[in-house]
Amino acid sequence: MKVLMFGWEFPPKIYGGLAVASYGITKGMVEGQPDADITFCLPKPCGEEEKFLRIIGMNQVPIVYRDHNYDFVKSRVPDYMSPEDYYRWRDNIYADFSYMNVNEMGCMEFAGGYPGNLHDEINNFSIIAGVLARSEQFDIIHAHDWLTYPAGVHAKMVSGKPLCIHVHATDFDRSRGKVNPTVYSIEKNGMDHADCIMCVSELTRQTVIKEYHQDPRKCFAMHNAVYPLPQDYLDIPRKNHGKEKVVTFLGRITMQKGPEYFVEAADLVLKRTNNVRFCFAGSGDMYEAMVDLAAAKGIADKFHFPGFQRGKQVYECYKDSDVFVMPSVSEPFGIAPLEAMQCGTPCIISKQSGCGEILDKVIKVDYWDIHAMADAIYSLCNNEGLHTYLAEEGLKEVDAITWVNVSLRIRRLYDECIYNGGFMNKTWEECEAIRVDIDPMKGR
């Protein structure tokens, strides 16, 4: 089975959670299903991606015909692609794009990441997808996140193959309801054309159904997973702070993540005990506001802002904590608690977080319920039994959440789309049965 996947990020270049999820899904699929053949299209690969799948750099695909000889092409293309690919793609240029800004190879340049002219890049990405759709062989199209939806839709139009889109977040989560109309229209258009919509949680699925008016039959929750930690992360020792406990928030300090609720809860805890310290790791547009708030509450002496953490630092931060808190106001999935649990740190998450749907061994509170949050923090800091239970059982629970299983569920949906005529021909009950069948909490 051949999959044409469109993505915006891929490790080792990580901008956000999307790269990790893209990696997990593809890696899990290759590991779990020997017949899976994935072609992953990126705007601008850095060349150091793992080689378990075929990577296509959209900045290497010509859209304007240029006559170059074989040796010249060979000298210009990166080592993960061959000149034959170039010629094949060149033969499938479908329109005159010579008015566009292309280089001497007839390709477009991408800045990569999330530059200011993001909308242009999205558009260019989808133009190139038309070339690929004409020249590549594949059974199904899989587009990750809204940036690649236009490309997916275009590829579907050209090839007639079914389109799956993967909703890693919606603009409703990012903006607390005040959506950007351009983004919304791109998202909605992608969903309208999709044969199958995979959402990272039931929460997101409901948003897709209610806010984007999609047919529930083709919407499925497809929860993320985590990869086992590499040995050098496992070897980071857990610190013992003696009587003092460390409570951590780690993430972008922005409205969506609910940082102010963390400060409020911390204030309540510190009113009654003083053996707790709070670590507020991350950066974001509310960073200064949070420093001010902590100072205004008079708890700045117990509050620490170590700033943005990257790579191994993240895990050092988890291992250094006694409690991890994620008070997100709206979180499509939220992988951080799973990572914290891998480090043996008990978590408190908001009920508005998608990952809560597949986690039992965490404390869930409403993000606005600062009393419950404070109570849970206090309880974890003072009751050894609860802390031990959540640390041990949480580790077991998160170890059972694997990408291989996730990709098997994705495969199930692929098969329905490719061989069984998709979901729109099925009854509501039939789709519901599939939904129940791929529910990760089934039997728990």
Partner 1 sequence: MKQICLYFEIHQIIHLKRYRFFDIGRDHYYYDDYENERSINYIAENSYVPALQTLIQMARENDNFKVALSLSGVGIEQLEMHAPQVVDLLVELNSTGKVEWLCEPYSHGLASLGNEESFVDECKRMSAKIKELFGQTPKVFRNSSLIYSDDIGAQVAAMGFKGMLTEGAKHILGWKSPHFVYNNAINPNLKLLLRDYKLSDDISLRFNNPEWSEYPLMADKYMDWIASLPQEENVINIFMELCALGIFQPLSSNILEFLKALPKCAAERGITFATPSEVIKQNESVGAIEIPYNISWVDEERDTSCWLGNGMQREAFNKLYSVADRVRIATDRRIKQDWDYLQASNNFRFMTTKQASVGLNRGIYDGPYDAFTNYMNILGDFISRVNSLYPMDVDNEELNSLLTTIKNQGEEIEAKDKEIEKLRKKLEKYNPTEVAEPKKAPAKKAAAPKKASAKTAVPAAAKEETSAKKAPAKKAAKK
Interface ranges with partner 1 (CB under 8 A) = 268, 271-272, 360, 363-365, 371-372, 374-376, 378-379, 382-386, 388-390, 393, 444
Tell the smallest beta-carbon distance from residue 360 to partner 1 (Å).
8
Nearer residue to partner 1 within complex by CB, 346 or 354: 346
Tell the smallest beta-carbon distance from residue 385 to partner 1 (Å).
3
Distance CA 164, CA 198 (A): 7
Nearer residue to partner 1 within complex by CB, 277 or 411: 277
Nearer residue to partner 1 within complex by CB, 46 or 372: 372
Tell the smallest beta-carbon distance from residue 295 to partner 1 (Å).
23
Tell the smallest beta-carbon distance from residue 389 to partner 1 (Å).
4
Nearer residue to partner 1 within complex by CB, 209 or 372: 372
Tell the smallest beta-carbon distance from residue 403 to partner 1 (Å).
25
Tell the smallest beta-carbon distance from residue 363 to partner 1 (Å).
5
Distance CA 52, CA 142 (A): 17
Nearer residue to partner 1 within complex by CB, 187 or 267: 267
Tell the smallest beta-carbon distance from residue 315 to partner 1 (Å).
24
- Count of positions (residues) in the chain: 444
CB neighbour list of residue 384: distance below 8 Å, 6 or more residues apart: none
Nearer residue to partner 1 within complex by CB, 51 or 272: 272
Nearer residue to partner 1 within complex by CB, 158 or 386: 386
Maximal CA-CA distance, the chain = 76
Tell the smallest beta-carbon distance from residue 356 to partner 1 (Å).
11
Tell the smallest beta-carbon distance from residue 191 to partner 1 (Å).
33
Nearer residue to partner 1 within complex by CB, 213 or 271: 271
Nearer residue to partner 1 within complex by CB, 183 or 326: 326
